[in-house]
Amino acid sequence: MIRGQANIDLQQHQEAIADFDGDIRMQADNASAYHIRGVAKIELGQYKEAVADFDRAIRLQPDDAYSYNNRGSARMGLGQNEEAVADYGEAIRLQPDNADFYINRGAARAELGQYEEAIADLKAVLELARESGNSERIIFIEAKIEELEQVE
């Protein structure tokens, strides 16, 4: 796992996949190995294969919000935006204070033309940013909300 993670950090995704393949052969019930291999596959544009890895990670560790979030990202890469919205929703249910999950779901909803729902997600991000005092994110999200309101 350590070598695979190091390869991810070095942007050597193909090598990371090979490392995690070995880890999975040795320990087939390692949810983290499937998850991180899925992340590497997203980076290589292997979205269908990434979804399969996240499916396995979720079966092994169903309360991992990040696996749902990343499966949503892989599904976005496949153009499966409705499924992505559902995955992001599950990630939010598991970890409601993670602003990135709301941003991702908002982006998927905007792709689907669900602008009201996308704005609601961004307003949730805005609230979280205000609670944490993240002024850069506040400015960015306010601009995105204004942009979506003009499209709506």
Question: What are the pLDDT digits (tens) for 48-103?
Answer: 999 999 999 999 999 999 999 999 999 999 999 999 999 999 999 999 999 999 99
Stretch 123-139: mean pLDDT: 93
Which domains does the chain show, CATH number per domain? 1-96 (1.25.40.10), 97-152 (1.25.40)
Q: What is the pLDDT of residue 147?
A: 92
Stretch 115-129: mean pLDDT: 96
Q: What is the pLDDT of residue 19?
A: 78
Please give the angle made by the CA atoms of 125, 43 and 84, to the nearest 5 degrees.
Answer: 45
| CA dist., res. 115 & res. 41, Å (int) | 30
Question: What are the pLDDT digits (tens) for 20-43?
Answer: 777 788 888 999 999 999 999 999
Q: Which residues contact 101 (CB under 8 A, 6 or more apart)?
A: 65, 69, 88, 91, 92, 95
pLDDT-derived band at 120 (thresholds 50, 70, 90) equals very high
Q: What is the pLDDT of residue 23?
A: 77
Q: What is the pLDDT of residue 22?
A: 78
Q: What is the pLDDT of residue 122?
A: 97
0.75 surpassed by pTM: yes
Q: Which residues contact 83 (CB under 8 A, 6 or more apart)?
A: 72, 75
Q: Which residues contact 77 (CB under 8 A, 6 or more apart)?
A: 42, 45, 47, 50
